[in-house]
């Protein structure tokens, strides 16, 4: 009995198991096409999650930027400084997520 990686969740499972105890993927009955389809679905779901995070990061950036300039705060106020921090964090988070998307698409 050896431990192998599940094609779906990449966790260790027995080579004699009929299905993965972690994700329920039926290892025993899976064809190479099933494995490829499951890996494609996992990659798609990961990309969707990162794209949603990118959208949230852009929303934080735009909201912070808007609050900074049209929120009635003066430079040096705590609210103004927090708005600047939010804009920086949102923009950097967006850039990191876009880089992650490019890496996933390039290496798959």
**Residue ranges per structural domain of the chain:** 1-29, 42-107
Q: pLDDT tens digits, residue range 49-79? A: 999 999 999 999 999 988 887 777 778 888 8
**Per the confidence metrics, is the pTM higher than 0.75?**
no
d(CA 29, CA 45): 23
d(CA 91, CA 29): 46
Q: Quick check: 77 and 37 in contact, CB under 8 A?
A: no
Scanning 1-108, the segments in alpha helix (DSSP H) are 32-70, 78-106
Cα of 85 vs its chain's centroid, Å? 23
Q: pLDDT tens digits, residue range 72-104? A: 777 888 888 899 999 999 999 999 999 999 998
């Amino acid at each position: 009995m050896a431990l192998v990686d599940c094609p779906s969740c990449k966790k260790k499972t027995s080579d004699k198991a009929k299905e993965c105890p972690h994700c329920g993927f039926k290892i025993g009955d899976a064809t190479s096409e099933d494995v490829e389809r499951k890996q494609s679905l996992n990659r798609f779901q990961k990309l969707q999650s990162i794209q949603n995070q990118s959208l949230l990061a852009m929303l934080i950036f735009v909201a912070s930027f808007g609050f900074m300039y049209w929120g009635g705060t003066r430079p040096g106020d705590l609210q103004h400084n927090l708005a600047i921090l939010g804009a920086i964090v949102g923009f950097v988070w967006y850039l990191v997520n876009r880089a992650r998307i490019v890496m996933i698409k390039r290496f798959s």
